[in-house]
């Protein structure tokens, strides 16, 4: 897998920061202009909470496998990428909640793709492309994530 050179390990983070800032401003605008006003109590907040926590759990698994593969010659790269991944998780959750609270996509399961696409693509471009991943690391990552999927979906079959 082609990885980014050591000279610019923070360049994808700059682009991701700009993307998250623009999407957060746009989702805040949509939430202010087109809010969904619930007429009866619903369980929307619980949906947002469960998706955010599950996404954070999967993000922690991805980080645990990929952070040791980052270049050790760059000072504090592992710590800064961990902090940036937490920021990506918080901003993705905020964008997810704000988009999900508009009247256009309230109570629509497709709003889940906003969080999944934004958070996991941020982790990919920020950490996984910079890390020197081996085939064994990909197998470990796939096995852990496959186990999580089986844990949640196998009892339903």
Per residue of the chain (157 residues), what is the pLDDT tens digit?
555 555 677 888 999 999 999 999 999 999 999 888 777 777 777 888 888 998 898 899 889 888 888 887 788 888 999 999 999 999 999 999 888 888 888 777 788 888 889 999 999 888 888 888 888 888 988 898 888 888 877 776 5
Residue 103 belongs to some domain of the structure: yes
Report how many domains make up the chain: 1
Cβ partners under 8 Å of residue 102, min gap 6: 27, 30, 31, 34, 35, 36
Residue 5 belongs to some domain of the structure: no
Residue 2 belongs to some domain of the structure: no
Residue 4 belongs to some domain of the structure: no
Domain housing 21: 11-156
In whole angstroms, what is the distance from residue 127 CA to residue 85 CA? Answer: 8
Provide the terminal-to-terminal Cα distance of the chain, rounded to the nearest Å: 35
The answer to whether the pTM exceeds 0.85 is no
């Amino acid at each position: 897998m082609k990885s980014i050179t050591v000279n610019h390990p923070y360049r994808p983070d700059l682009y991701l920061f700009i993307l998250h800032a623009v999407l957060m401003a746009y989702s805040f605008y949509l939430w202010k202009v087109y809010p969904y006003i619930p007429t009866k109590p619903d369980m929307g907040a619980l949906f947002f909470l469960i998706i955010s926590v599950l996404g954070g759990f999967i993000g922690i698994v991805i980080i645990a496998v990929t952070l040791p593969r980052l270049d050790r010659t760059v000072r504090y790269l592992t710590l800064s990428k961990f902090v940036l991944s937490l920021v990506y998780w918080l901003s993705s959750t905020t964008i997810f909640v704000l988009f999900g609270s508009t009247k256009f996509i309230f109570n629509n399961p497709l709003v889940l793709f906003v969080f999944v696409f934004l958070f996991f693509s941020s982790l990919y471009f920020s950490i996984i492309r910079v890390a020197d991943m081996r085939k064994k690391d990909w197998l470990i990552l796939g096995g852990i994530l496959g186990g999580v999927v089986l844990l949640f979906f196998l009892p339903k079959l």
